[in-house]
């Protein structure tokens, strides 16, 4: 292959790569258009904890307030137990390299506690799971699953996204 031919091929390949990345960026921007904006403050919500509700037969639901002041960054991850992409994506939360970030997982769009428990058992998630409601979904402007926000220690959105993401992708957004 001549030097000129190689340089033309490389140039064409780089242009195509740039176009593909541009299209992917445009799609991503379009998909998050209805979520809370970067630099918005996330709502403070108090939600029941799945394990406490499951173990509690007295009918009272211990409540946990979503608090982001505990670390520099917090990942608030929203899922639905019927979401197949959530099944794959949530397994990745356990694969995140060590980070000082706090991870808050919130179940939305669920029919009953057993459905959420079965989902958590199936994906093998071992962290705390909070039970969100339609009010939670509206307050955080969630219209697809999975969706997540990365917030700073003052509760300000620094990143938002939805759909499948990899553990390295989440790690990079948290750091």
Cβ neighbours for 148, distance < 8 A, ≥ 6 positions apart: 75, 76, 77, 78, 160, 161, 162, 165, 170
Confidence band for 58, pLDDT divided at 50, 70 and 90: very low
Q: Span 55-64, mean pLDDT?
A: 56
Q: Is the pTM of this model over 0.85?
A: no
Region class of 167: left (phi > 0), else alpha (psi between -120 and 50), else beta: alpha
* Rounded Cα–Cα distance for residues 71 and 136 (Å): 22
Cβ neighbours for 139, distance < 8 A, ≥ 6 positions apart: 43, 45
Cβ neighbours for 153, distance < 8 A, ≥ 6 positions apart: 68, 69, 70, 71, 72, 73, 74
pLDDT higher for 82 or 10?
82
Q: Helices (DSSP H) in the chain: which residue ranges?
A: 3-31, 50-55, 84-91, 113-123, 134-139, 167-174
Q: What is the pLDDT of residues 136-153, one digit of tens each?
A: 999 999 999 999 999 998
């Amino acid at each position: 292959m001549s030097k000129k031919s190689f340089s033309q091929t490389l140039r064409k390949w780089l242009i195509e790569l740039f176009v593909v990345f541009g299209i992917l960026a445009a799609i991503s921007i379009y998909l998050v258009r209805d979520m809370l904006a970067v630099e918005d403050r996330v709502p403070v919500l108090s939600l029941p904890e799945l394990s406490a509700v499951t173990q509690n037969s007295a009918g009272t639901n211990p409540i946990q307030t979503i608090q982001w002041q505990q670390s520099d960054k917090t990942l608030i991850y929203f899922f639905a137990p019927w979401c197949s992409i959530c099944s794959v994506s949530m397994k990745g939360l356990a694969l995140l390299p060590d980070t000082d970030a706090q991870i808050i997982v919130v179940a939305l769009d669920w029919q009953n506690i057993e459905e959420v428990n079965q989902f958590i058992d199936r994906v093998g998630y071992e962290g705390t799971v909070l039970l969100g409601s339609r009010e939670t979904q509206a307050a955080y402007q969630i219209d697809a699953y999975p969706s997540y926000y990365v917030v700073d220690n003052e509760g300000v959105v620094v990143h938002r996204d939805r759909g499948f993401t990899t553990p390295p992708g989440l790690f990079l957004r948290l750091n």
